[in-house]
Copies of this chain bind each other. A is one copy, B any other.
Amino acid sequence: MKLRDLGEDRLIAQLVKDLAARPDVIVGPGDDCAVLRSPRPGEYLLFKTDCVVEGVHFSPNDKPIAVGWKAMMRTLSDFAAMSGSPQYALVTLAAAAEQEVRWMRQLYRGLRQAADCFRVALVGGETSGTSGPVVISISALGRVEKERCTLRSGGKPGDLLFVTGKLGGSFNGRHLRFVARIEEARWLTQKFQIHAMMDLSDGLGADLPRLAQASRLDFEVDESVIPRSGGCSIAQAINDGEDYELLFALSPRDAEKLGKKWRAKYPRLELTRIGRLILHASRLRQVTRHPFHGYIHFQ
């Protein structure tokens, strides 16, 4: 069987099954970051890696400074998903010998500008030749207070589902200049009991089912209210991916206060209630009128 026929989620599930449990590994594969015991009581360590590949996540014609920005922000966005603070990052870079040094220098400018936004220190890197497209992998290490660490799995039946910003059409340019929602996520967990959270990288259609499944719940979504970027259809908002917005679940009793406080704090950033988590109603997944799958890897 080829990767194309299996898909990313099933591949990863196969690869990491039977990993031995360890008391120092709080959350292993399957959430946005790995969550590890910290020597500092009251905190966890967060550890994450991600990559961008030329021809998949960026085009050879994109400005290298924007490519670097995106590569770093993608990994930092996973810290937003856990309401964590990234602290250190490493860069692994595979590039052809024919690649221009100027291109690399601009790439690093973008990496550093993105890291500087959140006072993340670039503490090392590794380079390799390749005969293929440029691959940039960013690993980052950070921390989060135990009581503010938001997993995908903490959703409760009846929780309301919210997304920040607008979805869809990111490949028109937004995917190269987004800012990881770290500040917003930190604010959310400081003020509210967020039950479950993740960042939307593969699109709501792929990521919401992951959050629901991790919480062992199903979900209902009112597709007509999904916030859409200008010119996007509902299907695009659901399936385009690369939004890097937050998706989170909280109790209905906190919803009104959240809306009010959010508008006061972030008047220019939309926050939309799109649906709720529910108990499994039947063995059939709820029907949606639009395609609901998100970005499909290996296709």
Which A residues contact B (CB, under 8 angstroms)? 1-6, 8, 11-12, 14-16, 19-20, 22, 24-25, 28-30, 33-34, 36, 38-40, 43, 45, 47-53, 55-57, 87-88, 90-92, 94-102, 104-105, 108, 112, 121-133, 135, 137, 139, 141, 297-299
Oligomer: number of copies: 2
A129 touches B297 (CB 8 A): yes
Distance from A112 Cβ to chain B, minimum over Cβ atoms (Å): 8
Interface pairs (14), CB distance under 8 Å: A2-B100, A2-B101, A8-B127, A11-B101, A12-B125, A14-B105, A50-B126, A52-B128, A56-B129, A92-B139, A127-B297, A128-B135, A131-B132, A137-B137
Partner of A135, one of B29, B57, B94: B94
Chain B residues whose C-beta falls within 8 Å of the C-beta of A52 in the assembled complex:
128
A15 touches B299 (CB 8 A): no
Q: Complex formed: what's the CA distance from A5 to B96 in Å? A: 12
Chain B residues whose C-beta falls within 8 Å of the C-beta of A135 in the assembled complex:
94, 128, 130, 132, 135, 137
Chain B residues whose C-beta falls within 8 Å of the C-beta of A112 in the assembled complex:
19
A97 touches B2 (CB 8 A): yes
Q: Complex formed: what's the CA distance from A108 to B14 in Å? A: 10
Known A19-B122, A133-B131; judge A101-B3 contact (CB<8 A): yes
Distance from A48 Cβ to chain B, minimum over Cβ atoms (Å): 7
Known A49-B90, A105-B15, A141-B141; judge A100-B130 contact (CB<8 A): no
Chain B residues whose C-beta falls within 8 Å of the C-beta of A29 in the assembled complex:
122-125
Q: Complex formed: what's the CA distance from A80 to B4 in Å? A: 38
B36 touches A38 (CB 8 A): no
Q: Complex formed: what's the CA distance from A47 to B89 in Å? A: 9
Q: Complex formed: what's the CA distance from A288 to B11 in Å? A: 51
Partner of A15, one of B19, B51, B104, B137: B104
Distance from A95 Cβ to chain B, minimum over Cβ atoms (Å): 6
A1 touches B101 (CB 8 A): yes
